[in-house]
Amino acid sequence: MPAKLLEGEPIANEIKQEVEAAIADLKSTHGLTPSLAAVQVGENAASRVYIRNQRRSFEEVGMNYKLHELPQDSTQEQVADFIHQLNEDDSATGIILQMPLPKGIDEKALQMEIAPAKDVEGLNPASLGLIAYDNPRLVPCTAMAAIKMLDATGVEVRGKEAVVLGRSTIVGKPVALLLLQRKYSATTTVCHTGTIDGGKLEEHVGKADILIAAIGQREFVKGEWIKEGSIVIDVGINRVRVKSKKTGKTRSKIVGDVEFDTAKERAAFITPVPGGVGPVTVSLLLQNTVNAAKWQVEE
């Protein structure tokens, strides 16, 4: 039987409703409207579209969104100084550093400069460290989105074999740490390019009751590798060009890290790409921003 589709939109809508309620509460109790300060260094066409969408999603739920544009030739020190100013600025309750940054700017070093209380992307070492302490606060949105998809299955995770493909700071590592929390207690394996070199990737995938793919390689994971009855959460976003059989025209399309059509015949649950993890990620940035504001005012 084909897998049940785990669509992101209903989960994202539920999170947005929680966010709207939390904003209303903050406004009535503390007279506070959460405000995100977005820092962009230099000019980038792709991030312009992304920022426009981000602004829209913040304004739709009633939060403030302020874009700060720094010149392309800003130095590491100048960007760090600007972040320090935002850290001290009470009118900014959250800070996000837009990617990509110009060449020569060290992204991780700047993430470390963001005050942990305002770190709505959850990429500061303090935020990541709290996950390791089994006390997550501001969690990287994509990693949390993958876990929300898993929650949506209603399947008991404890003792299941979870395999995470990818070990980035933004997705793979935090997902693995979240699965290791006592609350989930999955037996968790993390695969990366070393696993490929050891010739073991397919073997690990085949054992996964829960597979979370975040490698950024188009349809790399083949359907026949997937364990029957498993949960497949595909984080990958890969843009490909496809040619229409009818018109012969090529168009761009987004696919995941997993070969969806074949994987859905073996899995019990699967996320589509697009329309799976992506929309949930966006709603969790809203949630982190409102939570950061709430904790700043209440603690």
191 contributes a contact to ligand NDP by CB under 6 A: yes
Q: Looking at residues 96 to 125 of the shown chain, list those that interact with ligand NDP (rule: CB under 6 A).
A: none
C-beta of 282: minimal distance to ligand NDP in Å? 7
C-beta of 38: minimal distance to ligand NDP in Å? 16
Between residues 74 and 289, which has the closer beta carbon with respect to ligand NDP?
289
DSSP state of 45: H
What residues form DSSP beta bridges with 68? 39
DSSP for 132-153 reads: HTT--SS--HHHHHHHHHHHHH
Q: Looking at residues 268 to 287 of the shown chain, list those that interact with ligand NDP (rule: CB under 6 A).
A: 277-278, 281
192 contributes a contact to ligand NDP by CB under 6 A: yes
140 contributes a contact to ligand NDP by CB under 6 A: no
47 contributes a contact to ligand NDP by CB under 6 A: no
- Sorted by sequence, the CB contacts under 8 Å of residue 277 that are 6+ apart come out as 8, 142, 145, 146, 149, 233, 234, 235, 271
C-alpha closest to that of 287 among 14, 10, 30: 14
Among 166, 255, 260, 288, binds ligand NDP (CB under 6 A): 166
236 contributes a contact to ligand NDP by CB under 6 A: yes
Beta strands in the chain (DSSP E): 4-5, 35-41, 64-70, 94-97, 161-165, 187-191, 210-213, 231-234, 238-243, 250-255, 269-270
201 contributes a contact to ligand NDP by CB under 6 A: yes
What is the binding site for ligand NDP (CB under 6 A)?
Answer: 142, 165-168, 170-172, 191-196, 201, 214-217, 220, 235-238, 277-278, 281
